[in-house]
Structure 1
Amino acid sequence: MNGNTKASETLDFVITQAGETLLGRKHTFLSKGADVFAAGELKMRNGSIVSINNLSRHYIPSPNVANTYLDIFKAIHINVSKVHLKVYNSQGQIINHILPK
């Protein structure tokens, strides 16, 4: 993350089947309608990620995949040491909340 974001904003993200991470608005726009490995939202504050979740109306990522999001972002060299992970089920209920260590 290069810090070129607003002071506080929420961005959609997708991770494509090819492993590319895309940030912006609207999951299906980002993925061009293709299947994705992961999708959700990133909450940003002052250019840093503060929260990641698996909320996507189109893709509805499973909680099992969402529970790996912190590891996925670490693998692409994004600092998630201060990130909250919120995992939702398909009914939109939070079922897991991992706090920063």
Structure 2
Amino acid sequence: MGPCFELVELEEDNDLRDLVASWNFSTSREFQKFILDSFAAPVHHPSSSSSGSFFVLAVFRRFTFRLTESSVSLALHACLGGSPAGFHVSFL
């Protein structure tokens, strides 16, 4: 099942839209709901700013799609929920 909502990233890039058409986003929705339900107060971090955020190193040893900042943001979104723009992906 592909994304059931409109993402700006998919409106702007046909290749990304084709890439995620077969991805299952239900796991990310369940994970996001679990995190939100686990905290008494809502968890929110403005995606437009990386101020106050933390770094996570993700290593892709094998992949079936071209790794770009946009495709990795969508892959993280498919796994973790949230907003693809909120991940602020950059290559090292």
Q: What's the TM-score, normalizing by structure 1?
A: 0.27
Higher relative contact order (CA 8 A, sep 6+): 2
Q: Which has the higher strand share?
A: 1
Q: Which has the higher helix share?
A: 2
Q: What's the TM-score, normalizing by structure 2?
A: 0.28
Q: Which has the larger radius of gyration?
A: 2
